[in-house]
Structure 1
């Protein structure tokens, strides 16, 4: 799955989750207990939301490697090794992002809500929703667009016809086209 599709999936999942719960929790992330943060991490894992960030470090490493190779073309192998070693040393910082995500979710959702999210999205139907929800949303959007065009066409035609009839009735049949 490509990055835009993952982002779209994540946004759709988050919107549906928020709409389904209806309200935000008043809990503050600073007040979150370790159990609350663990529930947030479990919900994030079940939702797969932070997977969209998996390619950031490899993509940035490729970019840096390309830039350095342009400046030092004779040192391609050395650049490859240096960038790889440096990227590996920075990989542990991915945990910071996971912690930040857990803090964000703990701020919005109660521990009980996070447990419910994790349970649902870990279930077969939750996994299916994650996989097919964006497809259903896209198809629903297309159906809505088609319906809107049909309604606009019919509304215009029927309003024009009714208006013409009323004008004709008002003027006694004269000037029906004005």
Structure 2
């Protein structure tokens, strides 16, 4: 579960960074038709299988708990109650984040393109893709980790051999 949370947090950071960078781009300031935004939001809703918002809230709560309780273990019960109360305040704000995601898609895709994307993700194979993306991404990360590990060792060995061929010993 920790790996999933880290991936979700990384994805959220990338998406938020993209949103921040995009906010500086003049096209973000453009007015978009409500139906264009609604179509983009439909895509976001269809593909939010990782529950980015909820996972981020839970991780933030856990991080806050660790930070406070590490320094003040005697107030664990009060901290837990306070975190639950604050989490409740954020519970119904998911739409705000997803609306920002939708705006990013609406700026980059035409309504026709978004309709094709929504149609795909509404289909059985699109739903399967959206549902399995988390596991597929984990598998891809595992493959790239093995590749990087092997590449690092192999690359270093080849550079070392090349240096040795030039008379340099490491």
TM-superposed CA distance for 1:103, in Å, is 0.6
Number of equivalent positions? 124
Which residue number corresponds to residue 89 of structure 2?
89
Distance 1:7 1:76 in 2: 25
Distance 1:50 1:29 in 2: 29
RMSD: 3.2
Distance change >3 Å, CA 7–CA 90, structure 1 → 2: closer
- Is the CA contact (8 Å cut-off) linking 1:50 and 1:98 kept in structure 2? no
* 1:69 has 2:69 as partner: yes
1:52-106 deviations in whole A, cap 9, x for unaligned? 3431111110111121112222111111001110122133443221111011000
**Superposed counterparts of 1:6-155, under 5 Å:** 30-48=30-48, 51-131=51-131, 134=136, 138=140
Distance change >3 Å, CA 76–CA 117, structure 1 → 2: same
What SS class does the counterpart of residue 31 from structure 1 fall into? coil
1:116-137 deviations in whole A, cap 9, x for unaligned? 21111111011223345637x9
Instruction: Give ranges in structure 1 of 5+ residues lacking alignment.
Output: 10-26, 146-178
TM-score normalised by length of structure 2: 0.59
